[in-house]
Amino acid sequence: MIEAIGLTSNPRKELPPAVDDVSFEARAGHVTALLGAPGAGKTTVLRLMLELQRGCGITYFRGRPLHRIAHPSREVGVLLGDVPGHPARTVRGHLRMLCAAAGVPARRADEVLEVVGLVSLGEERLATLSRGMDRRLGLACALLADPHTLVLDDPAGGLSTRESRWLYGMLRAHAAQGGTVLLTTADPKEAARNADRVVTLERGRLVADQEAAEFSRTRLRPRVAVRTPHAPRLAALLAKEARTAQRSVEVVREGGNRLSVYGSTCADVGETAFRHGILVHQLADEIGDMGPDAAARPAEPRADKAARTPDAASAAAPQKASAEAPRAAAGEPPSAGASASGDGSSSQAAGSRPSAASADGLPELPPPISVRPAPSPLRPLRYELRRAAGVGTGFLTAAAVLVVSALTAVLLARIGHTPQPRLLVAWPQELPLPPAALGAGLLGAIAFGDEFRHPALAADRGTVPRRLGLLAAKLLVASAVALALAVLTVGCDAEVLYLVYGPELAKVPADWLSLSASWIGLVVGCAWAGVLAAGLFRSTTAGLAAVVAVPVAVVPLVQKALEGPSVRTAAGFPLRLREVVLSQWPFGGERYLAAVARVVAQPVGGALTLSLTALLCAYLLTTVRSRVR
């Protein structure tokens, strides 16, 4: 059950708030429609409910606000607009990434793909999906963690009649199993047909909260649409016969050759036209909208006789949607578990439980998750690994770094006057950072930048959840990628130098251990700076800019501070460190500690350490603030 209390958006400048004091309930086992014209505030209400937008008011999902729910994706399935996934990611890869984030087995992705009819499109990229397939994938994402509540923003927008019928059948099946469904729509007829309760918004305010039957009686009424070149004459005859028979019939001229006749039937209008020899071009039942902007909406023809009364129109349940229909539209073969026979019984996939809704002729839902795994600290790590490996951006960036680094090393060797350690890492004196460090920083910035650009975790406490577990996973994966990039860069540069100029330039330096520690520390530090800055400023560009700012801006400041006359130097620090430590460390640990101290004491190392500390503190501060809010 959903309880929304006093939802009010923050006003912008002198404009009134887009949503003002909206309160309503969506009961379990029912489909609730949030109805309103474009701009009425429907999407803003949903964003306020899901805490994606700042404002006043609170929303309870089965008695708890979203920020008090440990795993929001298990309680609320969300579909707002198009699927917020990376365009280069595959359908199955996107769902498996979300499985890792929600803590459900990876096989759940195949189960929901089977139900929504996208099995044959599992390896397609998100950018290639049509509108209908995107809606199906969005519903699959919402159902992935087996949530109790579904919140959908205009789920049938832009879909064909067949696709809409299937989609509403899925939502009706979810409600039939005791779930809560809240959706938005701008079409009152659609709301009357597919919802149990209709909440009407107008200019950001709640104007009605009605059962579907009452909504139909007060907002909708049937009419007969007539097109004839003799519209004035037919209108006069219909009005005259109504007065004679003492019937309440209203005839409305709607411009041109069109008439709308309320309180009559197609048979009566047709007989009157026939008796008086009036040519009729169109004669059909329609549903008339009596809302404030009814004139702007086209009426919808009605083909079935049972829907000729307002009560029948409102009480009509969504028709049975066979899973074979949308599959045929998409050119897919029928599959077990998603097809329905003509007598209304659904065949079931092997291993899936019979759905309570399928007995009523509704589409079959994914099997429920009966046993949920316990929370694991490895869940964010699994998610990050699937996120990073699901697109080719990281691999292309690493390949470009290796090529640029090798070419730079060859060019520096040809020019000369470059020390061998800098030659092996392709670091000219004129550049602030080598290609490997820039590449590692870019990959680190992408780790958080893609989250905000394609917010796949939108249902989890805002655009991107600020969790320390997610940050630790990103730092760990970025460290592994940076370490691999650092080693591969030196190896490729040494191999290319050996092939082009011989073994003279590919020699291993005598102090290779300390140089390797400094090199790895630089590359990993740049990757961490990219991760932290992108997570703090919510942008890949800002993350890369923070990486470049370390040698360009922070290093000169550190050097100037260390060169001041009143600053004590750190000379003799390793010796004093050994004096402080009374006992010898095992395996010569004091040497490694002294090496780390020497690296930090360097201008670049000190500047990088300072930057990482500042970024980490700022990130932790924003995390605490978001949790307090």
Arithmetic mean of pLDDT over the chain: 81
Q: Convert the pLDDT of each residue in 98-156 to its tens digit.
A: 998 888 889 999 999 999 999 999 999 999 999 889 999 999 999 999 999 999 999 99
pTM of the model: 0.75
Does residue 329 surpass a pLDDT of 80? no
* pLDDT band (50, 70, 90) for residue 465: low
Three-state SS string over 195-230 comes to CCEEEEEECCEEEEEEEHHHHHHHHEEEEEEEECCC
Return the pLDDT at 331. 38
User: Cα 218 vs. chain centroid, distance in angstroms?
Assistant: 37
DSSP line for 96-154 = HHHHHHHT--THHHHHHHHHHT-GGGTTSBGGG--HHHHHHHHHHHHHTT--SEEEEES
Does residue 164 surpass a pLDDT of 50? yes
Return the pLDDT at 566. 52
Return d(Cα 135, Cα 116) in angstroms, integer.
10
Q: 564: Cβ–Cβ under 8 A, 6 or more apart, which residues? A: none
* pLDDT band (50, 70, 90) for residue 70: confident
Does residue 579 surpass a pLDDT of 50? yes
Q: 135: Cβ–Cβ under 8 A, 6 or more apart, which residues? A: 79, 155, 156, 159, 163, 167
Q: Report helix, strand or coil for 414.
A: helix
Return the pLDDT at 288. 65
Return d(Cα 428, Cα 419) in angstroms, integer.
9
Q: 226: Cβ–Cβ under 8 A, 6 or more apart, which residues? A: 234, 258, 259, 260, 261, 269, 273, 280, 282, 283
Return the pLDDT at 378. 84
Q: Which of 21-35, 248-262, 296-310, 459-473 reaches the highest mean pLDDT?
A: 21-35
Does residue 552 surpass a pLDDT of 70? yes
Contact 356, 176 (CB under 8 A): yes
Q: Give me the phi and psi of 253, to 5 degrees please.
A: -80, 125
Q: If we measure between CA atoms, which residue out of 237, 303, 287, 226 comes closest to residue 259?
A: 226
Q: Convert the pLDDT of each residue in 598-614 to its tens digit.
A: 555 566 777 788 888 88
Q: Which of 194-208, 416-430, 510-524 reaches the highest mean pLDDT?
A: 194-208
* 302/244: higher pLDDT: 244
Q: Which residues are bridge partners to 181 per DSSP?
A: 31, 150
| DSSP strand pairing (22-26 vs 2-9) | antiparallel
Q: Which of the residue ranges 23-37, 219-233, 269-283, 570-584 would you say has the lowest mean pLDDT?
A: 570-584
Q: Which of the residue ranges 194-203, 209-218, 599-608 would you say has the lowest mean pLDDT?
A: 599-608
At how many degrees (to 10) do helices 435-453 and 540-549 cross?
150
* pLDDT band (50, 70, 90) for residue 317: very low
Q: Give me the phi and psi of 200, to 5 degrees please.
A: -100, 130
Q: 114: Cβ–Cβ under 8 A, 6 or more apart, which residues? A: 335, 337, 338, 349, 366
Does residue 582 surpass a pLDDT of 60? no
Above pLDDT 90, what percent of the chain? 44
Q: 480: Cβ–Cβ under 8 A, 6 or more apart, which residues? A: none
Does residue 311 surpass a pLDDT of 70? no
The dihedral through the CA atoms of 173, 175, 179, 182 has a sign that is: positive
* 322/164: higher pLDDT: 164
**Which region holds residue 167: left if phi is over 0, alpha if psi is between -120 and 50, else beta?**
alpha
Q: Report helix, strand or coil for 76.
A: strand
* pLDDT band (50, 70, 90) for residue 557: confident
Q: If we measure between CA atoms, which residue out of 121, 144, 151 comes closest to residue 133?
A: 121
* Residue 126 identity (one-letter amino acid): L
Q: What is the mean pLDDT of residues 34-58?
A: 91
Return the pLDDT at 384. 92
Return the pLDDT at 618. 87
Return the pLDDT at 626. 63
* 440/453: higher pLDDT: 440
Does residue 195 surpass a pLDDT of 80? yes
Does residue 505 surpass a pLDDT of 70? yes
Return the pLDDT at 513. 81
Return d(Cα 195, Cα 31) in angstroms, integer.
5
Q: Which two tokens stand for residue 123?
A: 């390896």
Return the pLDDT at 402. 96
Does residue 229 surpass a pLDDT of 60? yes
Q: What is the mean pLDDT of residues 607-622?
A: 85
Q: What is the dihedral of CA 254, 255, 259, 263, to 10 degrees?
A: 20
Q: Which of the residue ranges 70-84, 91-105, 134-148, 265-279 would you say has the lowest mean pLDDT?
A: 70-84
Q: Give me the count of residues in the chain.
A: 629
Contact 234, 259 (CB under 8 A): yes
CATH architecture for residues 218-309 = 2-Layer Sandwich (3.30)
* 395/69: higher pLDDT: 395
Return the pLDDT at 189. 87
Q: What is the mean pLDDT of residues 413-424?
A: 88
Q: What is the mean pLDDT of residues 210-217?
A: 88
Contact 523, 482 (CB under 8 A): yes
Domain boundaries, the chain: 2-216, 218-309, 379-628
517 sits in which H/E element:
helix 512-537
Return the pLDDT at 35. 94
Q: Report helix, strand or coil for 15.
A: coil
Domain 2-216 of CATH type 2.60.120.40: no
Helix ranges (DSSP H) in 360-392: 379-389
Does residue 375 surpass a pLDDT of 70? no
